[in-house]
């Protein structure tokens, strides 16, 4: 039997007499679920095969995108999708081999394009995102590094005014839900970001968005805080959820070791699919590949995380370098990454910043767990009533990690939840 590496205290140090919980998935959502359960008094074990921080959210733009509540199926995106799908250099692409498997998902996706449905989804998502900073605050206060969350707002820049005008209905919907934005002209963009001076004349600033100082470091710090407070992290895969008489009794690991638990939380992103039978669900969860490039010594200063709307990607300054990414690909389940997608991003970025040095670049990919309505699942299993689900956050895993953690802790403890979770039911499909 192979030894299982542990990033943790030994099980003998866990407090006696406390109810136990196992969280499957150590990314941002799983780490936050573990921390909130820990705060609620549970003895928590976190299971993940990767090192802390090496997860999907590591390869993201690192933004607290609190007003990104409008689903991907919004009309402006749908009009561009046919061209993008067959343009290998576009911000969204489809591998031909993935087409048969993705058609049912796309049909459901298109059903969310009606205006009334878009408004309904945005309203539901806003109930979650309004609490993002309040929910992260106690978790970050317990971390040693007090600079994990940046203070600067996020910018979005456009090539021409027509693109910004096309975005106006969505900005109006966001404003009706309590989110702010402000238009920027060429001078204002140049004053905020001298590297973009003379390049863009039209932009937006989102005063209620923030970016983390480093996606990997952010998750690692939260995990370290969890362990420092007595949590246990086991670095291996969870093979199955054990059950008896309609209740989960724990989790069996890949090496056959069994971890007993009173409660089980599945927060494994796209990896949640392997537990669908145990959960008693069949949901259209797909992994959409998001590619990123980290330039460790770019030779150019970017002060704000900046979305280049027409390019379909984002620049985010982080402690480990300038992270550039956002292009996504429908590749199909189990497909190997195509890092040429990251090359495309880098080439586009160099057109915007020709002075950027790219001699030291790291490529990465994260598989965003997307549902067709772009809402996550935050729910209790009807088959095993002591198993809870927290996955399907799409591009908002980092943003909604702490809020999801708080809600899961309330569900586990049997407390009323602040938000209505019906829109995030696993049984809505």
pLDDT in tens, 73-83: 876 555 666 66
Distances (CA, A) of 380 to 46, 75, 284, 391, 427: 18, 33, 17, 12, 10
CATH number of 67-116+149-210+285-370: 3.30.9.10
In the DSSP assignment, the letter for residue 236 is S
Q: What is the mean pLDDT of residues 362-376?
A: 94
Banded model confidence at residue 1, pLDDT cuts 50, 70, 90: very low
In the DSSP assignment, the letter for residue 424 is G
Domain ranges of the chain: 11-56+217-284+375-424, 67-116+149-210+285-370
Helix (H) or strand (E) holding 175: helix 161-176
Name the fold adopted by 11-56+217-284+375-424.
FAD/NAD(P)-binding domain (3.50.50)
CB 63 within 8 A of CB 156: no
d(CA 193, CA 196): 6
Query: Comparing 18 with 49, which gets the higher pLDDT?
Result: 49
pLDDT in tens, 170-188: 999 999 999 999 999 999 9
Q: What is the mean pLDDT of residues 262-266?
A: 98
**Burial 160-191, CB ≥16 within 10 A → b, else e:** eeeebeebeebbebbeebebebeebeeeebbe
Structure token pair of residue 294: 């980290």
Average pLDDT, the chain: 91
What's the residue count for the chain? 429
d(CA 251, CA 263): 10
Percentage above 70 pLDDT, the chain: 92
DSSP-assigned beta bridge partners for residue 266: 24, 389
* Axis-axis angle for helices 397-413, 28-39 (nearest 10): 30
Identify the pLDDT of residue 329.
Answer: 84
3-state helix, strand, coil in the chain (%, to 5): 35, 25, 40
- Among 92-96, 102-106, 258-262, 288-292, the least confident range: 92-96
Which residue in 386, 378, 394, 373 sits closest to 269, CA to CA? 394
pLDDT in tens, 38-65: 999 999 999 999 999 999 999 999 999 9
Banded model confidence at residue 103, pLDDT cuts 50, 70, 90: confident
Structure token pair of residue 342: 């990251």
Identify the pLDDT of residue 72.
Answer: 83
């Amino acid at each position: 039997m192979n030894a299982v590496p542990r990033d943790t205290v030994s099980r003998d140090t866990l407090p006696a007499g406390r109810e136990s919980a196992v969280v499957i998935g150590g990314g941002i959502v799983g780490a936050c679920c573990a921390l909130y359960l820990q705060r609620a008094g549970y003895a928590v074990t976190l299971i993940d095969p990767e090192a802390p921080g090496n997860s999907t959210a590591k390869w993201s733009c690192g933004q607290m995108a609190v007003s990104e509540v409008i689903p991907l199926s919004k009309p402006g995106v749908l009009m561009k999708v046919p061209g993008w799908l067959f343009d290998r250099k576009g911000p969204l692409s489809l591998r031909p081999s993935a087409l048969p498997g993705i058609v049912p998902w796309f049909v459901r996706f298109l059903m969310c394009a009606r205006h009334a449905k878009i408004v309904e989804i945005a309203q539901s998502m806003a109930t979650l995102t309004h609490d993002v900073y309040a929910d992260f605050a106690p978790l970050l206060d317990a971390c040693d590094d007090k600079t994990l969350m940046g203070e600067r707002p996020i910018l979005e820049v456009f090539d021409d005014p027509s693109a910004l005008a096309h975005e106006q209905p969505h900005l109006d919907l966001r404003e009706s839900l309590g989110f702010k934005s402000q238009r920027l002209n060429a001078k204002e963009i140049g004053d905020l970001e001298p590297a973009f001076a003379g390049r863009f004349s039209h932009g937006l600033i989102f005063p209620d968005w923030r970016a983390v100082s480093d996606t990997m470091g952010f998750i690692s710090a939260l995990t370290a805080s969890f362990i420092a407070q007595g949590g246990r992290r086991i670095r291996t895969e969870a093979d199955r959820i054990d059950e008896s008489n309609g209740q989960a009794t724990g989790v069996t690991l890949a090496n056959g070791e069994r971890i007993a638990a009173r409660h089980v939380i599945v927060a494994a992103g796209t990896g949640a699919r392997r537990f669908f039978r145990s959960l008693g669900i069949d949901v259209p969860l797909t992994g959409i590949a998001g590619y990123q490039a980290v330039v460790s010594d770019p030779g150019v200063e970017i002060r704000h995380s900046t979305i280049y709307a027409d390019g379909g990607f984002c620049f985010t300054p982080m402690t480990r370098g300038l992270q550039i990414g956002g292009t996504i690909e429908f590749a199909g389940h189990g497909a190997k990454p195509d890092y040429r997608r990251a090359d495309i991003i880098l080439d586009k970025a160099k057109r915007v910043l020709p002075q950027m040095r790219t001699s030291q670049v790291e490529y990465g990919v994260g598989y965003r767990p997307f549902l067709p309505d772009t809402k996550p699942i935050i729910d209790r299993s009807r088959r095993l009533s002591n198993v809870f689900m927290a996955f399907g956050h799409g591009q908002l895993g980092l943003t909604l990690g702490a809020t999801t953690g708080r809600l899961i802790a309330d569900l586990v403890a049997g407390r009323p939840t602040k938000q209505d979770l019906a829109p995030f039911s696993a049984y809505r499909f």
